[in-house]
Structures are given as C-alpha cells and as structure tokens.
A and B are shown apart, each in its own frame.
Chain A
Amino acid sequence: MSLLSRPARAALVAGTAGLALVATGCGSSEPSTPAAGGGASTSAECAPFEQFGKHDGKKVSIYSPIRDTEADLFQQTWVPFEKCTGMKISYEGTGEFEAQIQVRADGGNPPDLAFFPQPGLLERFVKAGKLKPASAEVKKLAEQNWSADWVKYGTIDGTFYAAPLGASVKSFVWYSPGMFKEKGWAVPTTWDELMTLTNTIAGTGIKPWCAGIESGEATGWPATDWIEDILLRELGPEGYDDWVAHKIPFNDPKIVAAVDKVGAILKDEKFVNGGYGPVKSIASTAFQEGGVPITEGKCALHRQASFYANFWPEGTKVAEDGDVFAFYLPGNDPAKKPVLGAGEFVGAFADRPEVQAVQAYLATGDYANARMKLGTYVSANKGVDIANAQNPIDKLSIEMLQDPNTVFRFDGSDLMPAAVGAGTFWKGMTDWINGKDTKTVLDFIEASWPKS
C-alpha cells in the first residue's frame, strides 16, 4: 500500500494560493444548489451543455490515478456540467490504480469510467472484453480534437474505445537560465552541442547532470524515459514504433548503442549526480527531488517531463527569464524534433447514456479550457486555447503538441505489456544504474517479454 506516487502522469498542482480559492469556492461533496431565480442566466450558462442532454438523478462513477489537489481541480471543472445535466459524478482517485482497477473489474464491480494512464493497460482491458466501445459522438469529438497519433492510442483492433484527456511532454531538459547567463553557456540544439556543454560544465568543477529515479514500486521509470527519448531520436519514429511493438528485440545492437549513449551521461562519474553524489545515488534519489540541486547551483541539467514544473521548491520561478526553465532535448539533427509524451485515456466500463455523455463532455475543447483556467494543465486537445495556459512550460508544451508538424510518440513503457513496461524495463534500468552492464540488462529484459 504504497503512499509513494506512481509516475508520469500529468501531475498538475496548482499553487497554494489558487488552491485556497478553489477550496473556498467549492465544498467538495455538497449537492449542487438549485439555481433559484435567474432562469434566463441559468439557461445561458447551461446552453453549452444542452448537447449532453438531461440525466436527472443519474450517477456516474470515475476511477482514476489522479489524486489530491489535481483531483479537486477535475471535480471543480465539471460542477457546471453536473448542474446542467442533473447528474452526479462521483470521483475517486487512488495511488493503486493499476492493481485496483484489475481487481474491481475482475470482481464484477468496475467504475463507470476510468482514466487509464497507459494505452497498454487500456488494451489489456479491451482484450479481456471489459470495456465498451466509445459512442459515435465521442469518436467524432476525438477525431476532431486530437491528432491521428493520439486517436490511434485509444483505438484497439480498429474499434475506438477511449478519448485522450490530459497530456505531458517528456522531452525536456531543465536548466537555470540565470546560471547559463552568468557562465555564458548557450542552450544546445544538437546532441553534440549538448555533450560539449556537458564537458564544459564538468570542467568548471560542477557535475553537470542530476537525476533521480526512485519512485517506490515504480522505481526506474525516469531512466526508461531517458532511453525512450534517445531511441526516438536514434531509430526515428518508425524504428521506435517497431521497438515498442517488439519487432526489434530489446537486446538488438541498435538498442544497446542507444542505451550506451544515455550511459555516456548517466553512468559517468564526472557528469552525475550533481548535488547527490556518485552514479549509484541516482537509484536512491526520489524522482521528485532529482532536479532540485539546480536551484542550489550544484547541478546544471536535469532531463524530466513538463510536469516537473510542480516539483521545484516553493518560490522557484518557472520562466525563460526566471529561476528554472526547460529546453528541448536535442537529437543529432536539429531539424527533426520528435516529441515523447504521455497522457490519460477515458475508458468506459458501462454504456449507459449518462456515462457516454460524460465521456463526450471530457473529449470537448470546452472541458479542457475550463480545466486549464483553474490550474496548470496540458492537453493535446486542439480545441485548447493557449491563452489559458497557466505557466510558460504549459504553454510551450501545448504549442509543441498542437503543432501539426510535430511527430509525437507515446511513452513506450506505457504501451508495452505491463510485465515489461511496468516491470522488467524499470527494474532493468535500475540495475543498470546500480552497476550492471548494458548487455546483461537488455538480455534480461528481452527474456522477460511475454511469449504468446
């Protein structure tokens, strides 16, 4: 019963000030007060929700890995929807999503909707016949609001099941603009420049990189993100897809080369682990704390997703001219900028009209915009108005996701069978950091790929 968080979700936490506002504005479980008086304004308020119909007294349950303050913001977002459609949404966030959803589905007591953070997990439930296909309306909204790449992740064997919800961009390297300016370092645009910069920084006596991959039972995932980001650049998007689909084995020489490329940074005592000690300390440093030494000047670079904006110590300004900011993790060719990311998908265990109505609502641009106005949030929804972004990193992420030229690829470990993607891949990379050599680790992962 780990309290420690699972990773890689669009972890979006509002500043404390925003929170207090939200809290005073909304007691969580109070029944929506009937809008007495002002029938005209009510109907105007409700106009956008008319398309979802009336579902008076109906209940829809949502089960999700997103908890705490982020969960509050979700619930806050759909209050008007609940009022206007007359239904009640009960939301439950859990830190044990992957295991619990399996138990509840097997036990015949699934929620109506679930936010799946991994397409691989979604696929498993579809294959087991547990999920209902999305309605035509949800499908239409999804195709209209998301790129084909995203729609594909919610489509299994030609049937569309789940529309995407939030998103995060992983291909970022965090740095301190102030430190760069003071030392006269420039943001690199190619891998070679990045390595040159790394050497330059190491020459000044600072260990250039810092990292942390400890994450409770999910320890290792930030290292797998590293590998995926590099593989996406080395193999190209198609090669990356082949690797994810296990058409290229895990111990292929190309994969070994890519892992070693990451190892040139993460396993070199000269380059890591700024602020924390030797290479091995990466394995025991919490991912939430991995980049913090940047703010203390003990480290210069930290590769982590857009949601890391929430993990900086209180009072750290995230902006291009602030205390910390992030640049795109460069590849060999500055012209090609594939983006690695992740997100959640809304799968339905029931097909009652009110459930489909909620599913449709969550697929609209209106929902994403309303959610963004409340606190930091990134969605690949094309209907998102970038003006609603709460901070520069959200803005940058949304721009990257919305750019039609962007080649987007989903976090590979979330697409693989869980035994590898949430098991041996994480474990293998942790062992790798802890001293095992590349070939041994990749052979181990390859051997664990489920044979069927």
Chain B
Amino acid sequence: MNLDFDFAAEQPKLLQLLYGVVAFCAVVALLLLLLDRAPMRQKARLHIAILLAPALLLLTIGLIVPAVRTTLLSFMSGDGASWVGLDNYVWMFTQPEAVTVLRNTLIWVALVPVLVTTVGLLYAVLVDRSRFESVAKSLVFLPMAISFVGAGIIWKFVYAYRPEESEQIGLLNQIVVALGGTPQQWLLDPPVNTLFLIVVMVWIQAGFATVVLSAAIKGIPAEIVEAARLDGATPVQMFFRVTLPSIRSAVLVVLVTQSIGTLKLFDIVRTMTGGQFDTSVIANEMYNQAFRYGETGKGAALAVFLFVLVTPIVVYQIRQRREAVR
C-alpha cells in the first residue's frame, strides 16, 4: 500500500484557494467601498447597479444565455443544422411514452412538496425546545448530507429483492417476509414504483424542510406564544392559530423550492431505475435525448416544457409580490 502523501504537490491548490478567498474579499470590499462612496441623496441608480451587477452578469452568462439557446435549439433538428419548426414539440406530445413521463412528473410535483413540508413541519414542531433537539434534527438532516447517488445506493439496498426461498438482503422485503408475506419487486410495477422512488426524495429533502421551518419557528416572537398560552390554547390550537400563520412565508419557501427541485429532479430516477419500468420523468428524458442520444432538439423541447410547467409558480409569486407592495 502506498501511503505516502506528497503535501508539496498539493500546495499550488491551496494557494489557488487562497487566491480565491482573497479575490472574494477584494470583490466584496470593493463593492462595499463603492456603495459607501456613492452619496445617498443621489439617484439610487448607482447603488442599484453596484448591488445587482455581479449577480445579473453571472446570471446572464450562466443561465439566461443558455435558456435562450435552449429555446432556439428546441426548434432545430437533432444536430442543430436545420430549423424544423414545431416538430420536436409534436414528437414530445405524440410519442407513446410521453403521457407516462408527463404523468410521472405530475405525480412527483403533486406529492413531494406536500409530503416533505408535512413531515418537516411535524418534526420541527415536535422536537422544538425538546432536550435532544439538535441531535434529533441532525438525524433527519443526515440524508441531506448524502449525495443523490449515495441515497440511490441506500434505497436500492432497502428495496432489494431475493426469491422467496433464499435469504432477503433488502430491509423492506425482510419485513414483509417476517410478517408472513412474499417478497416483492418493488420497483418493477408501474405506477406504484414511482411512489417508492418518491419515498427516497422525501427521505432526502425532509431535512431541508425541518431545518428551514425550525429556524422560522424559533423566530416567532416569544410574546405571541406566551399570550396564546395564557389564553389557554391547546397545543393543536397553538399550532394552527399561532405557529402556522407566523411561519407562512417559510412554509411557502419550502413548498416552492421543493416544487422546482422536483421538476428538475433526475438523479434518483437515473440511479434507481434508469427511467425503466415507466418511471421516467421529464428531466431524465431531457438528459437522455440531449446528451446520450444526440437529439439536442428534442432534449431542448423537453427543457422548454419544464420552463412552462413552472409558470404557475411564477404567476403565484407575481401575485404575492403585488400584494406585498400594496
């Protein structure tokens, strides 16, 4: 076993890290300095420019240009050589398994945000102010720290199947057998297999919801809680009359981020079933078409459809903003 480790060889990297951090400090200091120098009475334009410029520049390069490009590509042939009009969109809605992919994506988006928020909220409320709060939160947070690939491995183990006569290696089937049932192949039969995949996503993301919601719960002013308690509110009343309204915006943050994350999800599906057995979702199909099959146009069309699916959430946000402004 070769255990020597050459630290000298790693120095340039650490130096680069140092450059990175120094550059970071320099940029932030510069921006703050500029902000301080720009007089407050002047038109706010300068301030706005300084504050927004870095983010907008990066967003333009990293996301806006690609989004425009993707939209253009969706009207082109697979190799990007010629315009094909709406062919890719027609393909998307007429291919035999398109309905399945769309149906699956809808199941995901309908279930994941709700389940994640419910579990996260329930847990955050239950462990709030308990003696073991930080340990308890860490346990649920643990899956967040595992990569999607790692999570895929864990759950493949849980769902693993062995024939009836031999020893089970999957936890779920072991439980089924212990209760007198016959082992099942959980991931083979649509549409329930999608539900088994959703469990994995909920398992990973519940930690996110717990952490965010727990932080919000802690932010509820103590006076309000005290007042409600003096009024003799039961814990359940307390939850619905005090806690929930106070953390409404945090709940929305979780719901919205989960919805968008779920729309874009593809790692779990890819590692666990590879999109087989009618479990594919839009993002997975998009990746396959655009990169693995070299059908860039079709992949792009699916991506554009993802943009479209998020519109209701954007519209909702716009209305929220209007209300906030009023």
Establish whether residues B96 and A444, one from each chain, have CB atoms under 8 Å apart when the complex forms: yes
Establish whether residues A448 and B95, one from each chain, have CB atoms under 8 Å apart when the complex forms: yes
Establish whether residues B293 and A418, one from each chain, have CB atoms under 8 Å apart when the complex forms: yes
Q: Could you say which residues of chain A place their CB within 8 Å of the CB of B270?
A: 1-2, 216-217
Establish whether residues A217 and B2, one from each chain, have CB atoms under 8 Å apart when the complex forms: no
Establish whether residues A419 and B291, one from each chain, have CB atoms under 8 Å apart when the complex forms: no
Establish whether residues A1 and B148, one from each chain, have CB atoms under 8 Å apart when the complex forms: yes
Asked if A117 is an interface residue, CB under 8 A from chain B, the answer is: no
With both chains docked as a complex, state the minimum distance between the C-beta of B314 and any C-beta of chain A, in angstroms: 28
In the bound assembly, the distance between CA atoms of A444 and B95 in angstroms comes to 9
With both chains docked as a complex, state the minimum distance between the C-beta of B12 and any C-beta of chain A, in angstroms: 14
In the bound assembly, the distance between CA atoms of A219 and B284 in angstroms comes to 15
Asked if A17 is an interface residue, CB under 8 A from chain B, the answer is: no
Instruction: For chain A, residues 262 to 316, give those with C-beta under 8 angstroms from any C-beta of chain B.
Output: 275-278, 280-281, 283-284
Chain B binding site: helix, strand, loop or mixed by DSSP? loop
Establish whether residues A4 and B271, one from each chain, have CB atoms under 8 Å apart when the complex forms: yes
Asked if A128 is an interface residue, CB under 8 A from chain B, the answer is: yes
Q: Could you say which residues of chain B place their CB within 8 Å of the CB of A431?
A: 276-277
With both chains docked as a complex, state the minimum distance between the C-beta of B219 and any C-beta of chain A, in angstroms: 36
Asked if A12 is an interface residue, CB under 8 A from chain B, the answer is: no
Q: Could you say which residues of chain B place their CB within 8 Å of the CB of A419?
A: 289, 293-295
Q: Could you say which residues of chain A place their CB within 8 Å of the CB of B293?
A: 417-419, 422-423
In the bound assembly, the distance between CA atoms of A220 and B274 in angstroms comes to 10
Establish whether residues B153 and A3, one from each chain, have CB atoms under 8 Å apart when the complex forms: yes
With both chains docked as a complex, state the minimum distance between the C-beta of A245 and any C-beta of chain B, in angstroms: 18
In the bound assembly, the distance between CA atoms of A27 and B270 in angstroms comes to 35
With both chains docked as a complex, state the minimum distance between the C-beta of A129 and any C-beta of chain B, in angstroms: 10
Interface size of B as a range: 35 or more
Asked if A23 is an interface residue, CB under 8 A from chain B, the answer is: yes
With both chains docked as a complex, state the minimum distance between the C-beta of B11 and any C-beta of chain A, in angstroms: 15
Instruction: For chain A, residues 1 to 25, give those with C-beta under 8 angstroms from any C-beta of chain B.
Output: 1-4, 23-24
Q: Could you say which residues of chain B place their CB within 8 Å of the CB of A430?
A: 276-277
Partner-A contacts on B (CB < 8 A):
2, 77-79, 95-96, 147-149, 152-153, 161-164, 166, 185, 187-188, 267, 270-271, 273-277, 287-295
Q: 17 A-B contacts, Cβ less than 8 Å apart? A: A1-B271, A2-B149, A2-B152, A2-B274, A3-B153, A121-B294, A127-B79, A215-B274, A216-B271, A276-B163, A281-B161, A281-B185, A283-B185, A284-B188, A431-B277, A448-B95, A452-B78
Known: A2-B274, A4-B271, A23-B2. 13 other contacts (CB 8 A): A1-B270, A2-B149, A99-B291, A99-B292, A216-B274, A217-B270, A220-B276, A275-B166, A276-B162, A278-B163, A427-B276, A430-B276, A448-B95
